[in-house]
Structure 1
Amino acid sequence: MRRCIVLLRGVNVGAGRRVPMAEFRRVLASLGHEAVATLLNSGNAVFSTRSRAAPARLAAAIAEALQRELGVAVPTLVKTADELAAIVDRRPFEPPPAEHVRVLVAFGADAAALQALQPLQALALPPERFVVTDAAGYLHAPAGLLASAVGEALLGRAGRGVTTRNWATVLKLRALAASGAGQESPR
């Protein structure tokens, strides 16, 4: 069994796409995944799977099931626990603990989606930092994400090919994946 993390883009914000976490867990279980756990109400889940399919194929199957069973078309991304651990371990800077909610990680399905973010690096004004690697994009916006031109771009049109999570959520997902537990996780 391997652990995987699934990230849905743009669910449960405003009046847009709604995916109840209990239903999200049910859909993942219906695909044969086990030890399913959700984190927060923003489309984060961790599961164990016997499937050896590539993360992109798992993501496509999950997106198809969400459309079929819940009537929700949503961009879906899957990372293995090892990929998520590498994203955390190979971060280009150490986020200060008090700033975890002001550090945004951009996840892409592949390196091309992340490389499309490269031009946004020019928008980062010190002390802000935005670094794109082949594994993820990392934004530290000390003045807040909404005050950041890069943050605005990532949450807007320029970020359509990626999904983002703050550093605190990324660390919680890593811990949940390592735990192997299946359940709804605390906020």
Structure 2
Amino acid sequence: MAAQIILLRGINVGGHRKFSMAEQREMMHALGYEQVTVHLQTGNIVLADPGTPPEETVRAIEDRVAADLGFRVSAMVRTREELAAVVAANPYPRATAEPKTLHVAFLSDAPADPAPLDALDVTSFAPDQFRLIGREIYLWCPNGVGRSKLAGKIDGMRLGVTVTSRNWNTVTRLLALADSA
């Protein structure tokens, strides 16, 4: 069965915007979604494709979170096929041996102006590297993302789109969950 993968931005981070896994699951069921699986508590949800365009799924979830929890949260949707393409397009295949060093920043849309990314002198951030491919930024930080100046720089950029990141373990686990949905 086809699946949609929902990525919520900025929940359960630092004790703010609390939204438990159980609440996430219950809300998805209340919205009429089926075969709901929540992975970790940071807003990773896999559900049976409801047959609606991803934009409608995003709108329904964002509106319901605001109504029920009293705060706005950004959601992004990738279909199972789109997430499989993200995994297949990984420009840093050797990084998968240390999956915590590889992150994918999911963008709500491709940046209309990628100039801020193009202007980065990546040699000054070595050994860290990044690559923008479509609606994703792949970020490889061999010494860890927590120590990466490049990760902080990219995270703070104003690209005109919403961004939420996941490590490679989470990305591949979400694809496996979508495949089993």
Q: Which moved more, 1:36-45 or 1:150-159?
A: 150-159
Q: Which runs of at least 4 in structure 1 moved beyond 4 Å after TM superposition?
A: 157-160
- TM-score, structure 2 normalization: 0.88
Q: Is the 2:57–2:77 Cα contact (8 Å) retained in structure 1?
A: yes
Q: 1:97 to 1:89 in 2, by over 3 A?
A: closer
Contact kept, 8 Å, 1:34 with 1:47, in 2: the verdict is yes
Q: Cα distance, 1:81 vs. partner?
A: 0.7
Indicate the RMSD between aligned Cα atoms, in angstroms.
2.2
d(CA) in 1 for partners of 2:148, 2:68: 37
The residue number in structure 2 matching 1:76 is 75
Aligned to 2:162: 161
Distance 1:147 1:92, change over 3 A: same
Cα distance in 1 for partners of 2:94, 2:7 equals 21
Aligned-pair CA distance for 1:150: 2.0
Q: Which piece of structure 1 moves more, 95-104 or 70-79?
A: 95-104
Cα deviation 1:148-178 (Å, max 9, x = unaligned): 1221134445477210000111000000010
Which segments of 5 or more consecutive residues in structure 2 lack a partner in the other structure?
none
Q: Could you tell me how far apart the structure 1 residues matched to 2:40 and 2:94 are?
A: 21
Shift of the 128–151 alpha-carbon distance from structure 1 to 2, 3 Å rule, reads same
Structure 1 residue runs without a partner (length 5+): 181-187
Counterpart-to-counterpart distance in 2, 1:8 and 1:120: 29
In 1, distance between residues paired with 2:112 and 2:16? 24
Q: Is it true that 1:102 corresponds to 2:101 in the alignment? A: yes
Give me the identity figure in percent.
36
2: CA distance between counterparts of 1:154 and 1:38? 27
What is the CA deviation profile of residues 16-66 of structure 1, one whole-angstrom value per residue up to 9, with x for unaligned ones?
Answer: 11111111111111111100000011111100133332x122111111111
Contact 1:129 1:140 in 2 (8 A): yes
Query: Could you say what secondary structure the match of 2:36 adopts?
Result: strand
The structure-2 alpha-carbon separation of the partners of 1:31 and 1:73, relative to structure 1 and needing over 3 Å to count, comes to: same
Shift of 1:110: 1.2
Aligned equivalent of 2:173: 172
Q: Give 1:114 shift.
A: 8.7
Give CA-to-partner distance per residue, 1:95-143, whole Å, 9 cap, x none. Answer: 4344211111010111127947624753462221100011311000012
Q: Supply the distance in 2 between the matched residues of 1:141 and 1:157 (Cα, whole angstroms).
A: 17
